[in-house]
Amino acid sequence: MNRLSSRQRKIAYFLGILLLLIPIIMLGSPASSADTGGVLARMRQPETEGQLGLAEHNLGRVDPTSAAMNLVLLGLRGVAVNMLWMDYIDQQKTKNWAQMRSTTDSITMLQPHYLQIWRYHGWNLAYNVAAEWDDVRDRYYWIKEGAKFIIDGTEFNQFSPELRYDIGRIIGQKIGIADEWRIYRRYFNPGGAQYEDLAADEKGDPSPENRGGPDLKLNPEGLDNYLAAQRWYQEANDLEARGYEQHLMMQHIFRQYPYRCQLDYAGTLNREGFFGDVALEAWRQAQDDWITKYGQEMFDTGQDFKVKLELPGEADYAELARSQDVEIAKLRQLVRNFQNVVNYRYWRTRALSEAEPTTAQAHRKLFEGEELFKENELTRARKMLIEGLDQLEEVLVRYENLISEDLTLEEALWSLMLIKKIDDLLEKPPATDLPLTGLWNKHINDKVPSMQFDFNRRFGGL
């Protein structure tokens, strides 16, 4: 039997209500201009470190007259997204690009924290949609749209290394390696030193609003595309180092890309015929970054010890093995495996060799020799090509590992093909004492035929 009086029970109920109000106020207090509010209100704030960014109260940019909007209003967001996906596929099939882009925005606004949506649509715009256009300016526009789309995704997913990696891949690889890479690079960074002699209408972003300069959303600092990509890759690495996981690839593969961008930047300057102090300094920076930064990072092997890629001597192996109580042979095997995956030793040797003035002079002479050939200056072209091959042979004596690598091999074989073509045009007997003839004889049945096919398409048969 309850011995509490009616008055006492009322007081107890009132005290219980007060106690329950305390967690309710702490959890549910709304935010204001002067106060961040309760726990739930703070969790709904835009995502920052330590917060979840759970706000999903907006309905997205959905057509208010569409069936998808009706489903969203009824709380059937997942069904609405599925309908939008079906619309998206139909619009891509019918090449209704503007409507497809709008549908893409609606999908991402309804599911802003689903990374694969941002990653897929950005890739699709930059690679698939861009390929559907004939005009190079239109293709470049859609490549930019793909990168910008993922950049928008980083506003909703501020701690995703994967999105930053994808932005770097589009800006670096798509712009820098596509068939139209020379044009794309001039569009992306018209202020590059290698483009100073080009007319204003041959460089700069083709979109009217950019007035011949770079696209400021994609390249606000006016950087080379590889250096702009490097910034995004580095952001991805920084987030990964702070504990935000990426699920794309092994850690030591993922973390190489900022340093690879510097290597690609230096190599592309040479491909564009730029061999001055800027190119040499780019190679020296690439060498330093690859060896003293990337090479010194520690990577988990999954076997209770870590490795780094730059271990130049036995003493370095012994010290690292002793510090982790692991056998030297086991450590050496894992280091070698990790190095092979990212081709570490090749890029180290390449950077060391390219930072030398002799290598730059060899590249310059081979490049200028081909340009003289195109201008029908055959005798001067032949002399320049032979001088370049002589210097390249000198470099390969010091860096023997480069002999078997595709880039060096193709440069040497291509130059030999040019000399043979010149001798044919000048009606001279085939030369047997050319520099690096041994490479030609070694690859006469594998590399030479495929390269000769490309050569014949450009310059006619040998």
| pLDDT over 50 (residue 59) | no
Q: How confident is the model at residue 57 (pLDDT cuts 50, 70, 90)?
A: very low
Distance CA 443, CA 462 (A): 17
Greater confidence (374 vs 45) lies with 374
Q: What is the pLDDT of residues 106-138, one digit of tens each?
A: 888 778 888 998 999 999 999 999 999 999 999
- More confident of the two residues 334 and 70: 334
Higher pLDDT, 415 or 192: 415
Decide if pLDDT at 56 tops 70. Answer: no
d(CA 277, CA 335): 35
Per-residue pLDDT tens for 269-287? 999 988 888 899 999 999 9
Long-range contacts of 385-388 (CB under 8 A, 24+ apart): 385/415, 385/418, 385/419, 385/422, 386/419, 386/434, 386/435, 388/361, 388/362, 388/363, 388/364, 388/415
- Statement: residue 373 has pLDDT above 90: yes
* CA angle, residues 52, 165, 244, in degrees to nearest 5: 35
Segments making up each domain of the chain, as ranges: 356-459
Comparing CA positions, the residue from 31, 27, 26, 25 lying closest to residue 46 is 31
Question: Tell me, what's the pLDDT at 64?
Answer: 54
Please report, rounded to a whole number, the percentage of residues in the chain having pLDDT higher than 90. Answer: 58
What is the band of 68 on the pLDDT scale with cuts at 50, 70, 90? low
pLDDT at 381 over 90: yes
Higher pLDDT, 1 or 201: 201
Asked whether residue 323 carries a pLDDT value surpassing 70, the answer given is: yes
pLDDT digits (tens, 9 = 90+) for 157-169: 889 999 999 999 9
Give pLDDT tens digits for 15-25: 888 888 888 77
Q: What mean pLDDT do residues 195-213 have?
A: 86
Does the pLDDT at position 74 exceed 70? no
Say yes or no to pLDDT of 324 above 90.
Answer: yes
- The predicted model gives 291-312 an average pLDDT of 94
Mean pLDDT of the chain: 87
Could you tell me which residues come within 8 angstroms of residue 434 by beta carbon, excluding any fewer than 6 positions away?
A: 386, 389, 416, 419, 440
With a cut of 60, say whether residue 69 has pLDDT above it.
no
**pLDDT reported for residue 176:** 94
Query: How confident is the model at residue 391, as a pLDDT?
Result: 95
Distance between first and last Cα of the chain: 112
pLDDT (0 to 100) of residue 114: 84
Condensed to tens digits (0 to 9), the pLDDT of residues 392-429 reads 999 999 998 888 788 888 999 999 999 999 999 998 88
Among candidates 71, 37, 70, 81, which has minimal Cα distance to 55? 37
- The four Cα atoms 259, 261, 262, 265 give a dihedral, to 10 degrees, of 170
Q: Is 300 left (phi over 0), alpha (psi -120 to 50) or beta?
A: beta
Residue 461: pLDDT over 70: no
Beta carbons within 10 angstroms of residue 15's beta carbon? 10
| 349 pLDDT higher than 80 | yes
